[in-house]
Structure 1
Amino acid sequence: MSMKSLLAEVSQLHYPRPPATLLQVAAFEARMGWKLDEDLRSFYLHCNGATLFAPLPDVNYHLLPLGRIERASVAIRGSEEDVDGSPSHFTLVDMQDTNFVILDVATPVNGCYPLLDAFHETYPDEAPRIAASFEEFLEKALRSGNRSFWLSDGPLEE
């Protein structure tokens, strides 16, 4: 499914925030020191964050607005020390209870940042890759039935 179709589905069936402006994207990139990949740029210019399946606060998938993305070690461990998490790991999706889906901005593949599972009890020692791109992640999340698709044994919805 194309990113355009996925974004239309987010708008029609889920809870998107208003879009970010080009100025907000530029300010975010300047503050973070890295640029959004094409998938993420499309998402944030379409909606500056969203929740899937339910509105806040009781939501599993809270795709963070630009202003809430931060270094994963800060969000999970309250630390900017490299021993507490890679300086290239940033929060993207709040899965609640200090569990996050994070980006690794140091290792883009085909121009896309991979997404990792950051379980608060095992991060940074374990952070398995769960999607090669935001587009892949979003498609699987939308088909998950509101489950953490990478932890689920059941089939995804069609």
Structure 2
Amino acid sequence: MDRLLAEVSRLHFPRLPATPAQVADFEARVGWMLNEDLRTFYLHCDGCDLFVSSPDTRFRILPLEQIMRARVAIRGKDRDEAGAASLYTLVDMQDSDYLVLDVARSVAGRYPLFDAWHETFPELVPVASSFGEFLEKALHSGNRAFWLSSGPMEE
């Protein structure tokens, strides 16, 4: 993560770090713990824009205060028919779609990430097995949704 976070700080648009108290407040609010990659990221920066700054960014990694259940963000309902309670927004793709993590599917202490397209949610498309894997692929994507396209990278 150190190499990836150095790249975020050098070439992208990080927010100020979250404090340990903000992390604790977040974990109390959502009822689950940040895994090692996420904790390291949020103590380095409380969210960031990749490649270009908001409002034009494609990848906006949300600050802790804006992470919420995906079914609330996408469907506006906190009920089971609107999607699993274990899915949380993590990356706002700026087109009413999100990358979400599933805290019920932790593997080796890491939460997998999925594309949550608003038209078909709660159907999900796998993106990465962990936040660290997502961040590495995103940073080398040329600002494209790497899990959807095999076309040339954007400059």
TM-score normalised over the length of structure 1? 0.95
Aligned residue number for residue 15 of structure 1: 13
User: CA RMSD, aligned part only?
Assistant: 1.2
Q: In the TM superposition, what is the alpha-carbon distance from 1:155 to its structure 2 partner?
A: 6.4
Partner of 1:92: 90
Measure, in 1, the Cα distance between the counterparts of 2:106 and 2:151. Answer: 29
Contact 2:144 2:153 in 1 (8 A): no
How many corresponding residue pairs?
154
SS of the aligned residue for 2:41 comes to: helix
* 2:147 pairs with 1:150: yes
- State how 1:33-52 maps to structure 2 within 5 Å: 33-52=31-50
CA distance in 2, matches of 1:85, 1:19: 31
The CA distance in 1 between the partners of 2:85 and 2:38, in whole Å, is: 19
- Structure 1 segment 1-158 matched on structure 2, within 5 A: 3-124=1-122, 126-154=123-151
Q: Which letter does structure 2 place at the counterpart of 1:122?
A: T
Identify unmatched segments of 5+ residues in structure 1.
Answer: none
Alpha-carbon distance between aligned partners in 1 of 2:94 and 2:152, rounded to the nearest angstrom:
23
Task: Tell me, in whole angstroms, the C-alpha distance in 2 between the residues paired with 1:59 and 1:79.
Answer: 27
One-letter identity of the residue aligned with 1:146: N
| CA drift at 1:152 | 1.0
Q: Which amino acid aligns with 2:46?
A: N
**Aligned-residue offset at 1:153:** 1.1
Identity among equivalent pairs (%): 62
Whether contact under 8 Å (1:143, 1:156) holds in the other structure is: no
Aligned-residue offset at 1:80? 0.4
Task: Provide Cα deviations, 1:124-151, integer angstroms capped at 9, x if missing partner.
Answer: 0x10221000000000000111100100
Instruction: Measure the CA separation in 2 of the matches of 1:92 and 1:78.
Output: 16
Distance, in Å, in 2 between the alignment partners of 1:87 and 1:10 is: 30
Check whether the contact 2:143–2:153 (CA below 8 A) recurs between aligned residues: no
